[in-house]
Amino acid sequence: MASVLVVTEVSNGSIREASLELVSFARKVAESSGREVKSLVIGSGVEGVAGEFAGKGGGETLVVDTADAANYNVDVFKKAILAGVEAAGADIVLISNTPAGWDVAPRIAAALDCAFVSDCTNVEASGSSTTFTRRVFNGKLDAQLSVEGTAVATVQPGATEPFSGSSDGAATKLDADVSGARAKFVEVKQSESTGIDLTKADVVVSGGRGVGDPEKFTEVIQPLADALGGAMGASRPVVDAGWLPHAHQVGSSGQVVTPKLYVAAGISGAIQHLVGMKGSNYIVAINKDADAPIFEVADVGVVADLFEIVPALTEAASAAKG
């Protein structure tokens, strides 16, 4: 029987929650296409976590446990995944859309000479056909791509709930030849601390591309964050443009925050941003575009110009403090 293979990701000795999200999709695909769910764990000293994962939805779980995989190395991981695909008899391979995932996944597809779909938000199967959904045009449209036969896909973390059931299955060691890596792991460097820890703030006021320029963050967004006793966040384009340091970025490639209050001003609400803030207790969104996807997760949505609303909120918050 063909299988759908979940390629897990290990971080600080644990399997990331995003891998259980892959399991949710894999189970849905397996149910509707008659495939089996299998998983692959790659790392060093990971047999224990692989065994747990096998019972938490991973099913039959192959383990490549080698010192060479103690840290992510594209050459090692590519060889391990290809060995896993072969051993599992997989024709659908699901990988999280993380920096490691988007590095290795296209290489797996190229080596298998099969279809590759990146950054999916949904995966469904019907018979031999698998349909992948990805957001396009800043989240305004969903594109669906149907693939017949073998496919490798990366899946956006946060696109579905992590699988919370149990499964039959055990971890089995896979002897994969991962020698001959051309890339060499040197070291992990922590970014310098900027003194900002968004994850600990009770209130986060974030600005997006709609804020327009770096000065407006100082003049408009930071004052509201200060008036509410909170911290200032940002979407990725703000950080990419160099308007604010990366420590301010909220989202899949930034911080995941769960404050009591999250204010999003001039942020469209792309899935990569939503993943980082949708767990907030109360969300206020301010956007000129009534169709902006951010309103789908907002408790209060204000369709207006942020330059009118944010200063008014700052004034009201300052007045309330006295």
Ligand X SMILES: Cc1cc2nc3c(=O)[nH]c(=O)nc-3n(C[C@H](O)[C@H](O)[C@H](O)COP(=O)(O)OP(=O)(O)OC[C@H]3O[C@@H](n4cnc5c(N)ncnc54)[C@H](O)[C@@H]3O)c2cc1C
CA–CA distance, 15 with 199 (Å, rounded to integer):
21
- In whole angstroms, the minimum distance from the beta carbon of 112 to ligand X comes to 22
Q: Which of 181/303 has CB closer to ligand X?
A: 303
Q: Among 95, 292, 297, 317, indicate the residue that binds ligand X (CB under 6 A).
A: 292
Within positions 17 to 46, which residues make up the interface with ligand X, using CB under 6 A?
none
**φ, ψ (nearest 5 deg) of residue 194:** -105, 5
Binding of ligand X by 123 (CB under 6 A)? no
Binding of ligand X by 233 (CB under 6 A)? no
Q: How far apart are the first and last CA of the chain?
A: 69
Q: Which of 93/292 has CB closer to ligand X?
A: 292
Stretch that binds ligand X, among 13-21, 67-75, 250-258, 312-320 (CB under 6 A): 250-258
CA 81 to chain centre: 20
Binding of ligand X by 287 (CB under 6 A)? yes
CA–CA distance, 211 with 72 (Å, rounded to integer):
37
Stretch that binds ligand X, among 72-80, 144-152, 158-166, 283-291 (CB under 6 A): 283-291
Nearest 5 degrees, angle CA 68-CA 99-CA 149?
Answer: 90
Stretch that binds ligand X, among 39-47, 83-91, 170-178, 299-307 (CB under 6 A): 299-307
Question: What's the token pair of residue 273?
Answer: 């941003």
- In whole angstroms, the minimum distance from the beta carbon of 159 to ligand X comes to 13
CA dist 310 → 210, 285, 294, 322 (Å): 12, 11, 17, 18
Binding of ligand X by 305 (CB under 6 A)? yes
Place of tokens 């929650």: 17
Binding of ligand X by 268 (CB under 6 A)? yes
Q: Which of 53/132 has CB closer to ligand X?
A: 132
Binding of ligand X by 208 (CB under 6 A)? yes
CA–CA distance, 156 with 255 (Å, rounded to integer):
15
Question: What's the token pair of residue 10?
Answer: 């290990």
Sign of CA dihedral 10, 277, 103, 194: negative
CA 141 to chain centre: 19
CA–CA distance, 253 with 245 (Å, rounded to integer):
13
Query: Of 185, 214, 217, 199, whose CA–CA distance to 279 is shortest?
Result: 199
Within positions 136 to 195, which residues make up the interface with ligand X, using CB under 6 A?
138
How long is the chain?
A: 322
Stretch that binds ligand X, among 39-47, 81-89, 146-154, 206-214 (CB under 6 A): 206-214
Q: Which of 51/276 has CB closer to ligand X?
A: 276
Binding of ligand X by 289 (CB under 6 A)? yes
CA–CA distance, 139 with 261 (Å, rounded to integer):
24
> Hey, is 147 helix, strand or coil?
strand
Name residue 145's amino acid.
L
Q: Among 11, 107, 181, 209, indicate the residue that binds ligand X (CB under 6 A).
A: 209
- In whole angstroms, the minimum distance from the beta carbon of 81 to ligand X comes to 20
Q: Which of 84/301 has CB closer to ligand X?
A: 301
Binding of ligand X by 259 (CB under 6 A)? no
Where do contacts with ligand X occur on this chain (CB under 6 A)? 138, 208-210, 235-237, 249-254, 266-268, 270, 272-273, 276, 286-289, 292, 305-307
